[in-house]
Amino acid sequence: MNTSDTSPATMPVVRLIPKAEARAIRHGFPWVYANELVTDRRTRNLAPGTIAMLEDANRVPMGIVAVTPASKIICRMLDQDPEAVIDQAWFAARLTRALAHRARLYDAPFYRLVHAESDGLPGVVIDRFGDVAVVQPNAAWADVLIAPLVAALAEVTGVTTVIMNGTGRARTLEGLEEKTEIVLGTAPEGPIPVPMNGAIYMADVMGGQKTGLFFDQRPNHAFAAGLAKDARVLDVFSHVGGFGLAALAGGAASALAVDGSAPALELAAQGAAAMGASDRFETRKGDAFDVLAALAEEGANFDVVVCDPPAFAPTRNAAEAGLRAYERVARLAAPLVTEGGYLVLCSCSHAADLTKFRNASARGIGRAGRRGQIIYTGFAGPDHPQLPHLAESGYLKVVVFRL
């Protein structure tokens, strides 16, 4: 596809079948599924990421979409204006709007700048680390148009380095290859220190998980840190020290970070050192379930226990198995919490909704012979806005129990 040829006059046309829910799309739903589109040979032969005009069954234009013929999400709505041109100026307008919101929220330029569909850039995630931005183009159209996207990103934000992180399950579903590369500027020398909630995190933007740091837990880190003064804290699935370092900044007596990744724990230790808190911080590498069981056998207990696992239920098909895993986490973690202490349980699985996750957590606590009261329910921070039409955009849930 010629990436510059995105003017309405020359782009191909795709059309909804008569029974498709055109009204939902007109009201803001951002996707067209494969069974809602006329998929004749011409449409099937479009290159992944082709920019096209979407029409309803009566041939009335509905807007500009990106088409990936082999994907279940065959079209992603880019702009409901049929005259829109998807070029650098279009990207700049979307990024300017996204930046205005984050600049109002945060004093320092460390945040999620673009949260995919919720910010009008379907499948695109951009995290900002000062003068460095990490772009995840998880949809084919963004891969095709990466050049005008990056140019607009530098123009609007002034970042001098842009890293394209093309890894993860979403790209596989789009038929895209996995690759990570510098698309603007030069690679940073080592991890980037990120100040957040009084803590300092070390983000490995070149080789770390996802973009190198999870900004979504920021408000939940802050709440947990408020419980942590003079407390002994256990942070399981800690990654680079998320809850543990925030707890130390909140005055915790000690924090033990548990993770299966030695590089992540090393970054967590570097963060603790940068905070001057190494004497209150320990790490333990191992499978989280095994370590939780071993700590119980050792008779260990903590005033605050946090479990922030990866997505156990990334799809609807995995939901039941995922909920059993969340229940098991709660069952193993609850015995480690002191009487009157706090258990912080997290899920980033959009397929396990809040009610199901909360119920699985409560079952696990009950099976451990404990009882709890819910004192806080948290979600992703406001730099991860939710699109009301898209349940997937509200993936993160945090439930804090006092046991």
Catalytic residues: 348
Name the residue among 55, 81, 44, 51 with its Cα closest to residue 66: 51
Residues with Cβ within 8 Å of residue 134, at least 6 apart in sequence = 126, 127, 162, 163, 164, 165, 205, 211, 212
CB 342 within 8 A of CB 305: yes
| One-character DSSP codes across 98-126 | HHHHHHHH-SSSEEEEEEGGGGT-TTEEE
Report the alpha-carbon distance of residue 326 to residue 318 in Å, rounded.
Answer: 12
Report the alpha-carbon distance of residue 347 to residue 354 in Å, rounded.
Answer: 9
CB 343 within 8 A of CB 330: yes
CB 213 within 8 A of CB 240: yes
Q: How far is CA 251 from CA 222, 238, 282, 401, in A?
A: 12, 18, 15, 20
CA 86 to chain centre: 25
Residues with Cβ within 8 Å of residue 358, at least 6 apart in sequence = 374, 377, 397, 399
Residues in the chain: 403
Report the alpha-carbon distance of residue 139 to residue 282 in Å, rounded.
Answer: 39
Report the alpha-carbon distance of residue 383 to residue 386 in Å, rounded.
Answer: 9
Report the alpha-carbon distance of residue 113 to residue 263 in Å, rounded.
Answer: 26
Report the alpha-carbon distance of residue 345 to residue 333 in Å, rounded.
Answer: 9
The two three-digit tokens of residue 102, written as one number? 């984050």
